[in-house]
């Protein structure tokens, strides 16, 4: 099985939101416009950058206003309601660095993203694909055999 990157899945999610929930997509971009967020998810490093009309993914260039680091496993724990996002941040399972006012804007964008995502028919497939990528990681294989 070919493993999809989190970056590819996130790009698909933005495309789905644009197509299936255009008003939600516009609402997501309002607080995020002008922000660039460096994402480190396991071995993947990329940036989600936002304008008032689109979200796009690119290489990290050091100009990001926020850095977020986590793992696929932690993302699924939060999505599956096995771990609260707040607890994940406090325990450093999710590391977030940036100025407070920018973090508050990013949090608002994240909340709006989740609200749009739950209304998209295509999102369950993306979550399933994320689960498959988690099952293929060395950490998950060791966990399954240990």
- Structural domain total, the chain: 1
Domain of 62, CATH number, reads 3.30.1050.10
pTM of the predicted model as reported, rounded to 2 decimal places: 0.86
pLDDT for res 134 = 79
Q: Which domain holds residue 55?
A: 6-134
pLDDT for res 143 = 45
CA atoms within 13 A on the CB side of 58: 13
Residues forming a β-bridge with 96:
68
Query: Residues of 104-115 as b/e, b for ≥16 C-beta within 10 angstroms?
Result: ebbeebbebbee
pLDDT for res 135 = 73
Is 142 inside a domain boundary? no
pLDDT for res 138 = 53
Structure tokens at 92: 């450093």
Low-confidence ranges of the chain (pLDDT < 50): 1-2, 140-146
Is 145 inside a domain boundary? no
Is 146 inside a domain boundary? no
Q: How many CB atoms lie within 10 A of CB 42?
A: 19
- The model's pLDDT over 69-109, given as tens digits with 9 standing for 90+, comes to 999 999 999 988 899 999 999 999 999 999 999 999 999 99
Is 141 inside a domain boundary? no
Is 75 inside a domain boundary? yes
Is 59 inside a domain boundary? yes
Give the residue from 131, 136, 9, 140 showing the smallest Cα distance to 79.
Answer: 131
Is 143 inside a domain boundary? no
């Amino acid at each position: 099985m070919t493993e999809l990157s989190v970056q590819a899945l996130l790009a698909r999610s933005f495309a789905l939101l644009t197509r299936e929930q255009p008003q939600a997509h516009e609402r997501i971009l309002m607080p995020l416009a002008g922000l660039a967020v460096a994402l480190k998810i396991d071995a993947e490093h990329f940036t989600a950058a936002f304008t008032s009309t689109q979200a796009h993914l690119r290489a990290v260039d050091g100009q990001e206003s926020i850095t977020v680091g986590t793992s696929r496993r932690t993302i699924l724990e939060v999505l599956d309601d096995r771990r609260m996002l707040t607890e994940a941040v406090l325990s450093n399972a999710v590391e977030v660095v940036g100025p407070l006012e920018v973090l508050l804007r990013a949090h608002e964008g994240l909340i709006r993203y989740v609200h749009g995502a739950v209304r998209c028919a295509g999102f369950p497939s993306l979550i399933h694909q994320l689960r498959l990528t988690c099952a293929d990681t060395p950490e998950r294989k060791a966990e399954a055999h240990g």
